[in-house]
Chains A and B, each alone.
Chain A
Amino acid sequence: MSSDRDKIYSAIRAALAPLPERTEKPEWDDAMIVCKPSGKFDSLKAQFADKLISASGRFYDSVDTLTAYLKEEGSTFGYCDPALAHLLEGVESITFDTEFDEARINDYTFGLTKASAGIAESGTIVLKDSVTSARLGALAPWIHIAVIEETDIVASIGEAIQGFGDDPSIIFATGPSKTADVEGILIEGVHGPGIQVALVLSHI
Chain B
Amino acid sequence: MKTHQQIDRTARDLDPEVHESNFMGAKLKSERRYNTLHRDYDDPDQLRETAGLIKQHTLEHLDTYLEQAEASLQRNGVKVHFAMDDDAVNATVLRIMEENDAHSMVKSKSMVTEEIHMLKYLEKHGKEVIETDLGEFILQLDDDYPSHIVTPIVHKNRRGIAKTFEREKIGEDYNDDPETITRRARQYLRQKYLDADVGLTGGNFVSAESGRIALVTNEGNARFCMAANKIHIAVIGIEKLVPTDRDLGLFLNLIGRSGTGQQLTVYNQFISGPKTASQPHGPEQMHVVFVDNRRTEVLASDCREILRCIRCGACLNVCPIYRQSGGHAYRSVYPGPVGAVLSPLLAGNRFPELADLPKASSLCGACNEVCPVNIPIPDLLLRLRDKAKREGAKEAMKGTPNLGLWATLCSQPTMWKTALSMGHTMNYIPTELIPHPSAKAWQGARKLPEFQGGEFRKWFKNRN
Contacts and interface: CB of A to CB of B under 8 A. Distances in A.
Contacts of A4: 81-84, 88, 292
A5 interface: yes
B292 A179 contact: no
Nearest to A99: B280
A129 B275 CA distance: 7
Contact of B271 (A25, A169, A189): A169
B140 interface: no
B221 A191 contact: yes
Interface string B141-159: 0000000000111100110
B186 A22 contact: no
A168 B76 contact: yes
Contacts of A102: 194
A167 B53 CA distance: 29
Given A12-B66, A134-B280, A161 B248 contact: yes
Contacts of A28: 50, 250
Contact of A183 (B40, B61, B178, B272): B178
B170 interface: no
B368 to A, nearest CB: 17
A87 B311 CA distance: 43
Nearest to A21: B60
Nearest to B269: A171
Contacts of B185: 190
A181 B238 contact: no
A176 to B, nearest CB: 7
Contacts of A140: 190, 224, 227
A36 B40 contact: yes
A186 to B, nearest CB: 9
Contacts of A36: 39-42
Given A169-B269, A172-B268, A190-B221, A182 B63 contact: no
A46 interface: no
Contacts of A180: 151, 260
Interface residues of A, number: 70
A15 B134 contact: no
B224 A139 contact: yes
Interface in A164-204: 164, 166-185, 187, 189-193
B181 interface: yes
Contacts of B267: 171-174, 177, 192
B266 A33 contact: no
A105 B227 CA distance: 13
A190 B53 contact: no
Contacts of B66: 8-9, 12
A24 interface: yes
B269 to A, nearest CB: 5
A65 interface: no
Contact of B270 (A13, A132, A170): A170
B221 to A, nearest CB: 5
B176 to A, nearest CB: 9
A26 B57 CA distance: 8
Contacts of A33: 47, 249-250, 253
Interface in B304-351: 304
B24 interface: yes
Contact of A23 (B56, B63, B157, B219): B56
A106 B189 CA distance: 12
Contacts of A177: 218-220, 266-267
Interface in B248-278: 248-250, 252-253, 260, 262-276, 278
30 contacts: A4-B81, A4-B88, A5-B82, A7-B292, A9-B63, A12-B62, A12-B299, A23-B53, A26-B50, A26-B53, A33-B253, A36-B42, A105-B194, A130-B279, A157-B253, A164-B212, A164-B245, A169-B275, A169-B276, A171-B269, A177-B218, A178-B219, A179-B135, A179-B219, A182-B134, A182-B158, A183-B157, A184-B24, A190-B218, A191-B221
Interface of B: 21, 24-25, 28, 39-42, 46-47, 50, 53-54, 56-57, 60-63, 66-67, 76, 81-84, 88, 92, 132-135, 138, 151-154, 157-158, 161, 178-179, 181-183, 185-186, 189-190, 193-194, 210, 212, 218-221, 223-224, 226-228, 238, 243, 245-246, 248-250, 252-253, 260, 262-276, 278-282, 290, 292, 296-297, 299-300, 304
